Amino acid sequence: MPLGARTPGQPGPSPQLRELKQTVRTLLCLDDDTAVMVRQLACTEPGCPPVETIVAVLPMDGAARRWTLHQPADRITEDDLRHALLAPDQANHQDH
């Protein structure tokens, strides 16, 4: 697939990504109004793995939170998410 290509014939997020988002919602008991983003990004930091996956949670009211998992999105399991999201003080909070 060329770089940046969306999967042909697939209008929305991949089933795997949708599942990860749903797991995030379940683990954090989020309501429907809270936006959840899961995005794999290239990491340019020296010494880091080449890709990382960012999980961001943006509630309608309250600060946004963000977690970085140092692995590709398609390798992330529910256990990985549970470990990252539920561990104390793992989130990066951004006030707004």
Partner 1 sequence: MTTTPEPRDERVPVTVLTGFLGSGKTTLLNRILTENHGLRIAVIENEFGEVGIDDALVLDAEEEIFEMNNGCICCTVRGDLIRILGALMRRREKFDHILIETTGLADPAPVAQTFFMDDEIAAQLRLDAIVTLVDAAHVLQHLDEVKPEGVENEAVEQIAFADRLVLNKTDLADEETLGEVVRRVRTINSGVRIIPAQHAEIDLQQVLDVGAFDLERVLADDPSFLTETEHQHDTTVTSVGIDLPGELDENKLNAWLGTLLRTKGVDIFRSKGILALAGAPKQYVFQGVHMLLDGQFGRDWRDGEERRNRLVFIGRNLDRQALERDFAACLATAGAVA
Positions touching partner 1 (CB under 8 A) are: 2-6, 8, 11-14, 17, 32-33, 35, 37, 39, 41-44, 52, 54, 56, 58-60, 64, 66, 68, 92, 94, 96
Distance CA 56, CA 21 (A): 10
Least distance from partner 1 to the Cβ atom of residue 77, Å: 19
Distance CA 17, CA 12 (A): 10
Least distance from partner 1 to the Cβ atom of residue 12, Å: 4
Question: Would you say 79 or 96 has its CB closer to partner 1?
Answer: 96
